[in-house]
C-alpha cells in the first residue's frame, strides 16, 4: 500500500533482517531499542512538519502537536492530536481542515452559547477562507511523511544495530 506510507517487509531488505533479529532479542534489549528510536525520531518528525507548515494555524495545529509512537519496530507518525488553541478550541477539531483544506462554502453550526457561556441564538455560518482549498494529498503531514519515512526506516536499522553492538561490547568486557 504505497499511499498509506507503509514499508513492506516481504522483500529481502535490511529492515526484514533487523525485524527478524529484533524478534529474537531479550525484552530489555527491545525496550532500549524502542526508547532510543523514539528519542531520535521525534525531533526529526517535528522539524520536518515545521518545515512544511507555512501558516501560523498549520504551525500550531499540526507541527505543534506532532508526535512519534514506537512499539517494537513500528514507528507511528502523528500530528494534529492533543492540545488546544488560545481560543480553547481543541486542535483535533481543526486538524483535518488545516491538513487537507476545506471548501469556503461549507456550512458550520455555531453553538447556542458564547465562549464565556452566555446563551446565544444557534445558527449556521459559512466556513470562509481561513483554510486552504481542499487538496487530497494534504498540505503538511502527508508531504512531510513522504520525506521522513525513508529516514525513519534507516534510523530503525541503524539504532537497532548500534544498540545491539553496544550491548555486546558491554557484555564482552
Q: How far is CA 109 from CA 105, 121, 125, 169, in A?
A: 13, 11, 7, 62
| pTM for this prediction | 0.82
Question: Are the beta carbons of 122 and 110 closer than 8 angstroms?
Answer: yes
Predicted confidence at residue 3, as pLDDT, reads 52
Q: Tell me which residues of the chain have a pLDDT lower than 50.
A: 1-2
Predicted confidence at residue 1, as pLDDT, reads 33
Predicted confidence at residue 57, as pLDDT, reads 92
Predicted confidence at residue 140, as pLDDT, reads 94
> Per residue in 59-106, pLDDT tens?
999 999 999 999 887 889 999 888 888 888 888 888 999 999 988 888
Predicted confidence at residue 65, as pLDDT, reads 93
Question: Are the beta carbons of 68 and 60 closer than 8 angstroms?
Answer: no
- Number of C-beta neighbours around residue 14 at 10 A: 14
Amino acid at each position: 500500500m504505497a499511499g498509506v506510507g507503509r514499508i513492506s517487509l516481504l522483500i529481502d531488505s535490511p529492515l526484514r533482517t533487523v525485524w527478524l533479529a529484533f524478534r529474537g532479542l531479550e525484552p530489555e534489549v527491545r525496550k532500549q531499542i524502542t526508547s532510543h528510536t523514539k528519542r531520535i525520531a521525534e525531533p526529526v518528525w517535528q522539524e520536518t512538519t515545521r518545515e512544511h507548515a507555512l501558516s501560523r494555524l498549520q504551525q500550531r495545529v499540526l507541527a505543534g502537536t506532532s508526535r512519534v509512537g514506537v512499539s517494537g519496530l513500528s514507528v507511528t507518525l502523528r500530528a494534529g492530536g492533543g492540545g488546544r488553541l488560545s481560543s480553547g478550541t481543541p486542535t483535533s477539531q481543526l486538524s483535518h481542515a488545516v491538513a487537507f483544506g476545506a471548501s469556503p462554502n461549507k456550512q458550520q453550526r455555531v453553538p447556542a452559547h458564547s465562549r464565556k457561556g452566555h446563551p446565544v441564538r444557534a445558527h449556521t455560518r459559512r466556513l470562509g477562507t481561513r483554510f486552504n482549498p481542499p487538496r487530497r494529498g494534504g498540505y503538511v503531514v502527508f508531504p512531510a511523511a513522504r520525506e521522513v519515512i525513508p529516514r525513519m526506516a534507516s534510523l530503525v536499522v541503524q539504532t537497532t544495530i548500534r544498540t545491539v553492538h553496544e550491548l555486546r561490547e558491554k557484555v564482552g568486557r
